[in-house]
């Protein structure tokens, strides 16, 4: 099972995570409130440069996050990326 954190525990990441949860605690995976963690919308394996980008983070339940695993949500393709093709 893949963790969304990849061992990241920097101060800036913690602050970013807190900010994301403050703005919205609606889980982007199931649509219910009460998310307790944040997920990377585009996995770090695909876009490591977005690892600390707020635009790539969304609130998620820990359980939903682990259920998702490494699968990509179908909406990923329409999300903004730093690359312009």
Binding site residues, Zn ion, CB under 5 A: 27, 29-30, 61, 64
Report the nearest approach of Zn ion to the CB of residue 64 (Å): 3
CA distances from 61 to 17, 37, 73, 80, 84 (A): 13, 6, 15, 23, 31
Question: Measured between alpha carbons, how far is 1 from 66 in angstroms, rounded to an integer?
Answer: 7
Which residue, 3 or 84, has its beta carbon nearer to Zn ion?
A: 3
Which residue, 7 or 34, has its beta carbon nearer to Zn ion?
A: 34
Find the residue with minimal CB distance to Zn ion. Answer: 27
């Amino acid at each position: 099972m893949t963790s969304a954190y990849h061992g990241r525990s920097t101060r800036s990441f913690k602050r970013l995570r807190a900010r994301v949860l403050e703005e919205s605690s609606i889980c982007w995976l199931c649509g219910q409130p009460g998310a307790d963690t944040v997920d990377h919308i585009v996995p770090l394996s695909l876009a490591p440069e977005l690892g600390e980008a707020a635009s790539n983070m969304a609130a998620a339940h820990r359980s939903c996050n682990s259920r998702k695993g490494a699968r990509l949500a179908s909406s990923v393709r329409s999300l903004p990326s730093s690359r312009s093709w």
